[in-house]
Chains A and B, each alone.
Chain A
């Protein structure tokens, strides 16, 4: 079954404690990206990757890092989380960065920073 898997699904952490949200896809997709979703706002892109070792900033990259060492994995790293990073995070993937490809989303990761 085609899947984008995120972990953890729910996390409460304290300010400044580094955390990583993992994302894995089993569809051999080249394009992966991270979004955050906040009340009243559309999904906003944090980072995206067009292929292994190729990453780029989205609209709201501050405070986040990513890596793409393998095609299937695209972890999101919060080096020093702050309360304004409390949000619902989605990982997504598609076959390539071409405009006609379906985007598959993970189930989301609820992150609370206190």
Chain B
């Protein structure tokens, strides 16, 4: 069964600190992996998209990595800001482009 797992479920850090969120998946055949940021009560917004051949992709203070062999991805946030408080969702798309498998998300809280 295609699944996406994320850890930790929730995380609290202080402003200015770095953090790393994890995503493991079993989706096969794999096409691409995406990270989304979802503010409370709002729609998810795309952060990064990585295909099979890409190991890393950056978007400002967000850096995503992908290891397609171990089926793992991480999202690293540098110098966190209060506005980074949100849920971060890992999404894996199969090779046919129709099956989007969403992870449950990691809830990040950045405190002053």
Contacts and interface: CB of A to CB of B under 8 A. Distances in A.
Nearest to B32: A99
A5 to B, nearest CB: 11
Given A42-B102, A98-B97, A103 B4 contact: no
Contacts of A105: 43-45
A99 B43 contact: no
Interface residues of B, number: 25
A81 interface: no
Interface of B, helix, strand, loop or mixed by DSSP: strand
B85 to A, nearest CB: 18
Contact of A4 (B43, B49, B51, B101): B43
B93 A42 contact: no
Contacts, number: 52
A71 to B, nearest CB: 18
Nearest to A106: B43
Number of chain A interface residues as a range: 20 to 34
B100 interface: yes
Interface of B: 4, 31-32, 34, 41-46, 49, 51, 89, 93-98, 100-105
